[in-house]
Amino acid sequence: MARPTPQTFDKKKTVAENRRARFDYYIDDTFEAGIALTGTEVKSLRFGEGSIAESYAEVRDGEVWLVNSNVPEFSHGNRFNHEPKRPRKLLLHEKEVDRLTGAVERKGMTLVPLSIYFNSRGRAKVELALARGKNAADKRQTIKEREWKRDQQRLLRDHG
């Protein structure tokens, strides 16, 4: 039986991507969540600034928060500027929050942001993954597979 195709989200402009997450974690499920932002944060993100490399999400009091994501201060924000590394609330349906809470508490999984982007309606969204950590041997296996695929492509191209 064929594996079902993963759900894709309507990404118009990707602002920040966490490429390391796919190497460090097994991605089980992905969710699209809105972000509660202030005005200067939105402007800063529209200029393509922002980083989610060391960030993670956590469930607190029935709400999901994006922790340690960096959205630099807006250059023309003066006194209305925001704090760059403040926790940001993620907007999810209650069923999704309950599902995430159960997975994090019972199965020991982690919530990892994969990307921040603007959708076709101009709303800032986060692609959030429910993930399990890889150990060192798993990471080595991933590297071996990636290098073998690269060698396969090279062989096919040269001798094709």
Q: What's this model's pTM, rounded to 2 decimal places? A: 0.81
- 20-50 burial code (b ≥16 CB/10 A, e <16): ebeeebeeeebbbbebebbebbbbbbeeebb
Each residue's pLDDT, cut to its tens digit, for the chain (160 residues) gives 566 666 677 788 899 999 898 888 999 999 999 999 988 899 899 988 889 999 999 999 999 999 999 998 888 878 878 888 999 999 999 999 999 999 888 887 899 999 999 998 889 999 999 998 888 888 899 899 999 999 999 999 988 6
Q: Which domains does the chain have, with CATH numbers?
A: 13-134 (2.40.280.10)
The contacts of residue 46 (CB under 8 Å, 6+ apart) are 118
Give the integer Cα–Cα distance in Å for 98 and 152: 43
